[in-house]
Amino acid sequence: MTSQEPATPTPQRYAERTYRSPAALVGGILLLLLGLWLAGDALLRGDTHTRLTAVCALLLGVPLVIAYTLRPLVRAGDDRLTVRNPFRTITLPWGAVEGLRASFSTEVFTTTGKCQLWAIPVSLRQRKKAGRQAMRGADAPRPRFGPNADAGPPPRAAADQALDELRDLKERADRRADAQNTAEPVVRWAYEVIAPAVLGAIGLAVMIAV
């Protein structure tokens, strides 16, 4: 009777995690609405020069607002980390990620350098608040029994918590035999943002000079 080798267990897969800045999203939407309202008023009531200036201002302003507020995103999965910044998107296999840091900004260190994570801003105010809460929790006496016996881990700022989760995904990837991927990062420039902004800047300079 032929013996059968035990099947290799399939590694557990986790859903991708997406990180964005809620404050940036809200601020970007408000700026777009304000800009469209001002430009719309100029287009309806202004003369030809004012209308052309408003169109050029929209070509310049709308892509920049989108780039710095709505576009930034970080997506992390089992195999790779995708960083979408204002003007470029960097795809990083976990094997190319050497470390993650959150000081005054969040950064990822790679085999070719480092890049900032615009979608995960560092709030010093939030970090100080979490530190004060952790100190108060450490000084307060805890009951041995009851619902407050185990208060859980100390509070963390949103950026620090996000970096902890990304480091955890990195460690899981490093433990998988099929994840030792040392491929180089892939960078794609956001020409759909850059091109209209450049055209708007040139047009606005011409209209101001005329």
Phi, psi at 109, each rounded to 5°: -100, 130
| The Cα angle at residue 25 between residues 24 and 28, in degrees rounded to 5 | 80
CA 165 to chain CA mean position, Å: 14
- Residue 64: name the closest of 194, 209, 203, 186 by CA: 194
Phi, psi at 188, each rounded to 5°: -125, 125
Q: Are 80 and 91 in contact (CB under 8 A)?
A: yes
Q: Name the CA dihedral angle for 71, 72, 74, 75, rounded to a multiple of 10 degrees.
A: 0
Contacts of 173 (CB under 8 A, 6+ apart): 78, 79, 94, 95, 179
Q: What type of residue sits at position 204?
A: L
CA distance 167 to 208: 49
CA distance 84 to 204: 28
What per-residue confidence (pLDDT) applies to 149?
A: 46
What per-residue confidence (pLDDT) applies to 210?
A: 84
CA distance 99 to 113: 11
What per-residue confidence (pLDDT) applies to 157?
A: 80
CA distance 36 to 94: 41
- Residue 69: name the closest of 103, 35, 104 by CA: 35
The per-residue pLDDT string of the chain (210 residues; one tens digit each, 9 = 90 and over) reads 454 555 545 556 667 899 999 999 999 999 999 999 999 999 999 899 999 999 999 999 999 999 999 999 999 998 899 999 999 999 999 989 999 998 888 999 998 889 999 999 988 776 677 566 656 555 455 555 455 544 555 567 888 899 999 999 999 988 875 555 567 889 999 999 999 999 999 999 999 998
